[in-house]
Structure 1
């Protein structure tokens, strides 16, 4: 049985000074809406289902607010999971620093995408805005891009161009998750990770680039947020296809292709 919490929001007072019926000086209300409560000790438990060609795997993630952490001169909240995360959402937030900046939620730290357990791709990010309660649908919230180079056991390097971006989705009057729970006034965010991977082969002192992963949206994730609760559902598609290398006698530390559909559904939570 999920707990319902009553939040007392501070009301902004309005002082009007009128010289006539047409003159006024109104102070706009302060937006105190919270879509990810970050008080220490808050936690969310998610049921995680991952479906791929080999079958279906299930697990549970317990994500919680562990402590304050200072980055530069700014204080954030550090989120953690009780064990290694199964889900994309919990994995992206775990170990990182989160802060509420006005109506925005921002993340600082690193997030990793693993093609396999032997080849994770780790991205460093600073104040990446992944949610804004005041943004309209289609608004780009945060974006970060760059190129990283990783060696392989086969003796060549892989150049990985990436772009991570967050875009505001639509606001839903209601949203029903697996298990039957229905939430009202749900705000959505779309997260996309786009990758291009090029193998860099050494040939007598010359580098020969060969594109093994043309530009693709490797991760597309839709996150559903409810006021004073947090993310109640995250639906993520992980999908990619490498070019055919069968004629080149090249071994890559990445499977030829992959498709995983993952659902993270909030089961229980405790927030204040």
Structure 2
């Protein structure tokens, strides 16, 4: 009887030890969808389609600094800088809970036509990846307003920026290379604007979603693909504003060509 009890105790100890090892493995699984070691770099093929013209260029994006827990980037290109990489290079990225949440602080610049200054939208606490979110969840949402002068008239812009978990994919082919364990997220930007002219507010921009940025991140590699769609339809108030603001409609993409990571 004692022998049977002893055998049962040994089996229970082995089983509990095995369960403990499995739990530790699960708890310590901390995949990295944007490695941020100093010196890490990615080479992208960038494409822009706007006004019936197509532009392309090659860009290098590198992690070049760390201040406390915030990482900065530099970018260089022979002709065309990417939109999302410009957000990274113009801001800072930091992580929470190890690699389980990746967050961007920065700025989104939209070039206007007709010699007008670019629109500068602040990006604050934009979540690029959240391990605790599910497909369809809004990972972050922020709103605010800023004022910018157009033809010496003060224009008040109201914006809302959301980031959405678009789910996981087992693989994604980019530039004829297949990457595995892909996380997809989307940044959605909504904007409206009014201008004050001679005691009256005029609507310059009806509330509309102006930009969607869909990013594909590969496990332990980083951004492999970014697709940006932007369409802005301005109200025709030429008589009041005394300058025409052409509508904007462009698509751009960044496709990973090669990368160098500090392993």
1:156 corresponding residue in structure 2: 153
Ranges in structure 2 where 5+ consecutive residues have no aligned partner: 1-11
Aligned residues of 2:236 and 2:244 also touching (Cα < 8 A): no
Q: 2:225 aligns with which of 218, 233, 245?
A: 233
- List structure 1 runs of 4+ shifted beyond 4 angstroms: 24-28
- Using the TM superposition, give the Cα deviation of residue 249 of structure 1 relative to its aligned residue in structure 2, in angstroms: 5.2
1:264 corresponding residue in structure 2: 254
Aligned residues of 1:213 and 1:242 also touching (Cα < 8 A): yes
Q: Residue 105 in 1 paired to residue 99 in 2?
A: no
Per-residue displacement from partner, 1:178-234 (whole Å, max 9, x unpaired)?
Answer: x32222221100111111011211x2xx3x111121111111111011001101011
Aligned residues of 1:43 and 1:65 also touching (Cα < 8 A): yes
1:3 corresponding residue in structure 2: none
1:250 corresponding residue in structure 2: 241
- Using the TM superposition, give the Cα deviation of residue 136 of structure 1 relative to its aligned residue in structure 2, in angstroms: 1.3
SS at 1:119 equivalent: coil
SS at 2:85 equivalent: helix
Aligned residues of 1:160 and 1:195 also touching (Cα < 8 A): yes
Q: 1:91 aligns with which of 67, 73, 86?
A: 86
- Find the aligned partners of 1:85 and 1:55 in 2 and give their Cα distance: 13
Tell which structure's C-alpha radius of gyration is larger: 2
SS at 2:112 equivalent: strand
After the TM superposition, which of the residue ranges 42-51 and 95-104 deviates more from structure 2?
95-104
1:13 corresponding residue in structure 2: none
Alignment: residue pair count: 243
Normalized per residue, which structure has more helix? 2
Label 1:159 to 1:253 Cα distance change in 2 as closer, same or farther (>3 A).
Answer: farther
Aligned residues of 1:118 and 1:253 also touching (Cα < 8 A): no
Label 1:238 to 1:126 Cα distance change in 2 as closer, same or farther (>3 A).
Answer: closer
- Using the TM superposition, give the Cα deviation of residue 267 of structure 1 relative to its aligned residue in structure 2, in angstroms: 0.6
Give the alignment of 1:101-140 within 5 angstroms: 101-102=96-97, 103-116=100-113, 118-140=116-138
- Using the TM superposition, give the Cα deviation of residue 175 of structure 1 relative to its aligned residue in structure 2, in angstroms: 1.7
SS at 1:161 equivalent: strand
